[in-house]
Amino acid sequence: MAGCCGGKNAGRPISRRRYALGMAFLAAYHAAVQAALSGVGMAIPRFRPVRDFHRKYFAHLWREALRKEGIALDGGDCPVDPHR
Amino acid sequence: MGAGRRKSVALMFSGGVDSTVAAIELLSDFDQVHLLTFRNGYGHYGFGRTRRRFAELQARHPGRFVHFEASIRDLFERICLSTLSEDYARFGSAFMWCMGCKLAMHARSIAYCRDNGIGHMSDGSAADSDEMVEQMLLSVSMVHWLYADYGIEYLVPVYGITRDEKRKRLREQGFFLGIPVLDRYLGIQPSCIPGELYYLPYILFNKAPGHDEETVARYISGKRPVIDAYLAGRGF
C-alpha cells in the first residue's frame, strides 16, 4: 500500500457528516450480510466458515472505523495507520 | 484480415467499462476475442448484465467475439476459502478474498487458453484503479509471470488509458453506461458483495484498503502451488 495517502482518493479528508452517514451505512450493510449469512449458514454448511470470517472481519473493521484509523476528518492531517 | 494480425486472444470479461474497452482494443490486433466470465458462487451475482454487454459487442462486431461463462467455485474454495481464517490471522486484512478470487479466475483462464490453443490472455486492469488489490502493478506483474510459465502471453491493453477516456469512447459508440453513483457506474457488470464490503471503507471514508505490496506478493507466491496443482490435474 502506498501509505495512508496512496491510491486515488485514499487519505483525502471527509466531512463529519459523511463520516456519520458512512458509519450508519457500514453498520447496516454488514448487519444485513451477517443476518443473511447466519440464515444461509444454517441451511448450507459451506457458508459457515464465511459467516464466521465475516463476523471477525466486521468486528475488526468497526473498531478501526470508530478509532478513525486511516480516516481524515475535516481537512486534518491524514492519520497514519499504526498497523501498516 | 491484415498481415501481422493474430488469430485469437482471451479476455477476462465482466462487461464493465474497462473490460469492454479492452475487448474493442483487442479487435485491432486479433481476429477473434474470447470473452471469459467466471462466477465464484459466493455473493457474486448479476451475470445477465455481462450477457447484455456481450450482445452489444456482438451487434457492433458480428462474429468477432465468443462468450464463455463458467463457475470457478471449486477452485476459489481451494485457493481462498480453504485457508481463509489462517490467512486472515496471518495477513490481518481481507484482501485475500478479492486476490484469491482473481487468482482462481486466472488459473481457470490458463486452462481455457490451453484447451483452446490460445496463446494470448488479457484483462481490463488499469493503473487508475490500482487501489484494487488485483490491479496493483505488483499483482499484474506476478500474474504476467504465471501466464508466461504456461506459455501464454498476458496483455493489459487498457492499463494506461484513463477512466474518463474509456467512458468517453463507450459513450461515443453508444454503449450503455449504467447509472452514475460516486465515480462509479452501476448496473453494467456483475456485483460482488464481499468485494463491496472490502472496499466500502475506501468508498465511504477515503480509507486506504488494507493491503501492501509485500503482503500481496507473499499471498500470491503462497497460492502458486495450489494453482500449479490444479493445472497439473488438468494435464498442463
ipTM: 0.85
Classify domain B6-233 at the CATH topology level: Rossmann fold (3.40.50)
Give residues 11 to 70 of A whose Cβ lies within 8 Å of B.
11-14, 18-19, 22, 25-26, 29-30, 33, 46-47, 49-50, 52-54, 56-57, 61, 64-65, 69-70
The answer to the question of residue A84 being in a domain is no
* Residue A7 touches chain B, beta carbons under 8 Å: yes
- Please give the pLDDT value at position B54: 98
- Please give the pLDDT value at position B223: 97
Q: Which of B81, B205, B211 sits opposite A14 (nearest CB)?
A: B205
Give the helix/strand (H/E) hosting B87.
helix B84-91
| Residue with the larger pLDDT of the pair A43 and A1 | A43
Interval A19-69: pLDDT, tens: 999 999 999 999 999 999 999 999 999 999 999 999 999 999 999 999 999
Q: How many CB pairs under 8 A join A and B?
A: 88
The pLDDT confidence band at residue A9, using thresholds 50, 70 and 90, is confident
The answer to the question of residue A3 being in a domain is no
- Please give the pLDDT value at position B134: 92
Range of the domain at A47: 16-66
Number of domains composing chain A: 1
B contact set with A (CB within 8 A): 42, 77, 81, 84-85, 88, 92, 94, 128, 130-131, 193, 196-197, 200-202, 204-213
The answer to the question of residue A35 being in a domain is yes
- Cell numbers that stand for B150 in this block: 504456461
CB A18 to CB B207 under 8 A? Answer: no
- Within chain B, which residues score under 50 in pLDDT? 1-2
Q: Which of B84, B193, B213 sits opposite A53 (nearest CB)?
A: B84
Residue B3 identity (one-letter amino acid) = A
d(CA A12, CA A73) in angstroms, rounded, equals 9
The answer to the question of residue A77 being in a domain is no
Angle CA(B190)–CA(B78)–CA(B212) in degrees, nearest 5?
Answer: 70
Give the helix/strand (H/E) hosting B138.
helix B137-149
* Residue A10 touches chain B, beta carbons under 8 Å: yes
The pLDDT confidence band at residue A82, using thresholds 50, 70 and 90, is very low
d(CA B84, CA A35) in angstroms, rounded, equals 20
The pLDDT confidence band at residue A77, using thresholds 50, 70 and 90, is low
- Cell numbers that stand for B68 in this block: 464463455
The pLDDT confidence band at residue A74, using thresholds 50, 70 and 90, is confident
d(CA B38, CA B12) in angstroms, rounded, equals 8
The answer to the question of residue A81 being in a domain is no
The answer to the question of residue A49 being in a domain is yes
Using a CB-CB cut-off of 8 Å, the residues of chain B touching A10 are 131, 202, 206-209
- Please give the pLDDT value at position B185: 82
Backbone angles phi, psi at A80, to 5 degrees: -85, 130
pLDDT at A4 over 60: no
The answer to the question of residue A31 being in a domain is yes
